Every structure is written in structure tokens, then in C-alpha cells.
Amino acid sequence: MIGYATIGANDLERAKTFYDKVLEPLGGKRIFANERMQFYGGGSAPGMLAVCKPYDEQPASVGNGSMFGLNAATREAVDAAHAAAVAAGATCEGQPGLRTETFYGAYFRDLDGNKICVFKMG
């Protein structure tokens, strides 16, 4: 249902390097870009994620209550993406683990403070 989501970044090159590492365990890769935005896609998955410099040229900031959920194929991919994020400078917001009987997730804040959940349902 979601076509794409954007995450604001104050340093686009730094954000691209970070998300290259985080999205790799999830099958995400760079698909297209312009001077202020980098889109990532996951092969057969329909949604895209973009990191971008805000169009209004104001500093990127986080939304209180906003969070992006990134679907993983396996629990091991959740673990790998979370580990890659923390190794690349993210702040851990919740170690990988079961949150309900069918929801396995891990949480972090990226280099600009955006909250991200990597999860596996089922």
C-alpha cells in the first residue's frame, strides 16, 4: 500500500553510507537518485525508502511519534540490520527480540535521530 517513504538527512552522503549498510541485510539497494535524494528498493518488494535533504532547505528534524518500519525476511536479517546500524553509529532503541508472539523487532535511531524498526512478522 505504501509506495515510498522519505527520511530527512542533514548530510546526504553520510546518510547514504549509513543506509547502504543497514539495508543490505534486508535486500535493499540504491535504485535511483538526484542531487537531494537517494531511493532504495528491495527487489520484488513494492515500497521504496528514500533519504533526502528537505525540499524547503531547512534542517532535517525528527517527528515525535514518527517511526519507519522496515520488513525483514528472517529474524536473522533483523539482527544483522540492527547490528549494522549500531556499528555505523546508530543509537540502539531496543535490542532484537520478540515483542508479541508473532512480532520480532529491533529499534534504533539513525544518524539524524529518525526512529527505525526492523521487524519480521510470523
Per-residue pLDDT tens over the stretch 52-84 = 999 999 999 998 889 999 999 999 999 999 999
Strand-by-strand arrangement of the 45-52 sheet: 4-8, 45-52, 37-42, 29-34
| pLDDT given at position 57 | 93
Q: Whose grid coordinates read 549494522?
A: 84
| Overall domain count for the chain | 1
d(CA 56, CA 117): 27
Task: Tell me the average pLDDT across 27-45.
Answer: 91
Residue 86: CATH number of its domain = 3.10.180.10
3-state secondary structure of 32: strand
| pLDDT given at position 75 | 98
Structural domain harbouring 110 = 4-55+62-121
Residue 69: CB partners within 8 Å, gap ≥ 6?
116, 117, 118, 119
Residue 11: CB partners within 8 Å, gap ≥ 6?
111
